[in-house]
Structure 1
Amino acid sequence: MQELLSSTLIVALAEMGDKTQLLALLLAARFKKPIPIILAILAATLINHGVSAALGQWITAVLNPLWLVWGLSIGFIAMAAWMLVPDQLDDETESINRWQKYGVFGATFILFFIAEIGDKTQIATVALAAKYDSIFLVTVGTTIGMLIANVPAVLIGDRFASRLPIALIHKIGALIFLVLGVMTLVAYYYF
């Protein structure tokens, strides 16, 4: 259960103010059809994070446990630093126009899937799956975390997002990643 709760919390915090959350806001403002947007975000996240979690589990099978612990620790600490760098979304109007021919669901799915590649939440999913022993629970948890952050953005839009203390949320997320990094090392050497 810790895998599910940790994955949900970490990704929900990491997603606040993230470029994919900004993209969700932009798509909601453009299409004004929340249900297909939310379903496309769900589908894109499940696939993206499912593959990422599988990659995280595969890494545990091929890396020496000492290298894995140090890699995870450094990765979590690097994520803590990355959380403090605010994301910006470039003008996505051209991208939306290019994919609009696939409808609201198709355009959202494609754009969200592509935007999530190499994103903080995807990398966090790889690291969480390497730390925990459950592809399923990590994928479900990170997907729930993405939905916690993005569904309100789609439903309520800019009014809601502008009221969130994004800087504080990022600092809390950074602290959690830092603690995970340090605790991974401590647990390996002392437990």
Structure 2
Amino acid sequence: MLSLSVIAVVFGVIFLAELPDKTALASLMLGTRYRASYVFVGVAAAFAVHVALAIAAGSLLTLLPHRWVQLVVGLLFLGGAAVLLFSKGDDEEEVKAPADQSFWKVSGAGFMLILVAEFGDLTQIMTANLAARYSDPVSVAIGAVLALWAVGALGIFGGQMLMKRVPLRLITRIAAGVMVVLAGFSIYEAVAG
């Protein structure tokens, strides 16, 4: 039986933990470049996979070599920053027309970015811990998925709104800078242990 109180508690905890995380930045950047609904489908699917993994095998996630996960995440952020800074079409001030964007390409990019970047993340581990604490995996999964979807939607649609007021070139450069900083932190964590 579903517990609305467990769903609400999990939603609040996961939403607050994920809001300042790299997911909001990644969603925001994708939202400035691509059709929001396509991005959301990919991001939402990745979060559903993460929650399913956390619920099903949460205790095993803590056994993964944290250093390697952080190193891979750091390198992916560096790669993302390079793509943002050196990609052609940097001068575009408009999001490409939806006809130029394949649903599968855009949603697949959102899915892969979130799937890799969030693997072993704090909120995934928290979801596993909350599932063990409440012994109600369905309610925990619903609360966690809704919280993660809310953060992703805020980032995506926030990116769409931001682009109406700030030039894409500036948004891209700021996002690339933040990705370099996040890459530095992740690589430092991997090396320092």
Q: Same-fold call, TM > 0.5?
A: yes
How far is the alpha carbon of 1:30 from its aligned partner?
A: 2.3
Amino acid at match of 1:29: T
**C-alpha contact (below 8 Å) 1:46/1:140 kept by paired residues:** no
Correspondence 1:116-155 to 2 at 5 A: 116-155=118-157
**C-alpha contact (below 8 Å) 1:11/1:146 kept by paired residues:** yes
Amino acid at match of 2:156: V
**Separation in 2, partners of 1:3, 1:128:** 9
TM-score of the pair, normalised by structure 1 = 0.59
For 1:30, which of 20, 28, 33 is the aligned residue? 33
Q: CA-to-partner distance for each residue in 1:113-158, whole Å, 9 max, x for gaps? A: 1111011111111111111112221111111001222212211227
Q: Does 1:49 align with 2:51?
A: yes
List, as ranges, runs of 4+ consecutive aligned residues in structure 1 with deviation greater than 2 Å.
93-97
Q: Which blocks of at least 5 consecutive residues in structure 2 are unaligned? A: 61-76, 88-100, 164-193
How far is the alpha carbon of 1:93 from its aligned partner?
A: 4.4
**Separation in 2, partners of 1:36, 1:127:** 31
Q: Does 1:19 align with 2:19?
A: no
How far is the alpha carbon of 1:91 from its aligned partner?
A: 5.7
Q: Which blocks of at least 5 consecutive residues in structure 1 are unaligned? A: 60-88, 161-191
TM-score of the pair, normalised by structure 2 = 0.58
Aligned length: 128
RMSD: 2.8
**Separation in 1, partners of 2:11, 2:131:** 12
**Separation in 1, partners of 2:78, 2:56:** 30
Correspondence 1:86-105 to 2 at 5 A: 90=78, 92-93=80-81, 103-105=105-107
**Separation in 2, partners of 1:130, 1:94:** 40
Amino acid at match of 2:158: I
